Every structure is written in C-alpha cells, then in structure tokens.
Amino acid sequence: MNPEVPQVLVNPLAEQVTHVEFQTTFQVLDQAMTAYANREVVSPMNPNVGTAVTRIRDFTRMNPPNFHGCKVDEGS
C-alpha cells in the first residue's frame, strides 16, 4: 500500500514575483495615485454670477435692517 500523499491545490495563474517586480509595481501605483490626488480640478465659473446677491448680502451685514412697526393713516 502506498501512503496517501496530501494533495496541494495549485493555482495555474499564480506567478512567481520577485521583490524587485513587486516594489516596481507598487511604485507605479503610488505615482498614479499621487498624480490622481494632486490633479487640479477646474470647474467652469462665471465671475459675474452672484455679484448683486453678494453686494446686497454684504450691505445688509453692514447695515442690518430695523423694523419699527408701521403707521396707517386712517384720516382719509
């Protein structure tokens, strides 16, 4: 009788990767992620949009409106 040999699962797609290949792959990944994180996001903007709203908001902050009630002339 032959002693039973344990079977080992072999992944035919697995490759032997050297330390240098592994390090190089991570360096490329690091550079790609750094470039992605540091990319400049340009959004189209019209500099004249909201200027009237901004001016009114700033004016009301400087001079807040005061309400003193209302008068109704009943003598007519």
Reported as a single tens digit per residue, the pLDDT across 22-68 is 889 889 999 999 888 888 776 666 665 667 777 777 777 776 667 77
CB atoms within 10 A of CB 40: 4
Q: Which of 5-14, 53-62, 64-73 has the lowest mean pLDDT?
A: 5-14
Query: pTM of the predicted model, to two decimals?
Result: 0.35
State whether residue 62 is helix, strand or coil. Answer: helix
- Pick left, alpha or beta for residue 60 (phi over 0 → left; psi -120 to 50 → alpha; otherwise beta): alpha
The pLDDT value given to residue 76: 56
With cut-offs at 50, 70 and 90, classify the pLDDT of residue 12: low
Helix (H) or strand (E) holding 10: none
Does residue 19 register a pLDDT over 70?
A: yes
- Dist CA 45 CA 7 (whole Å): 65
- Amino acid (one-letter) located at 35: A
- Helix and strand numbers, DSSP H then E, in the chain: 2, 0
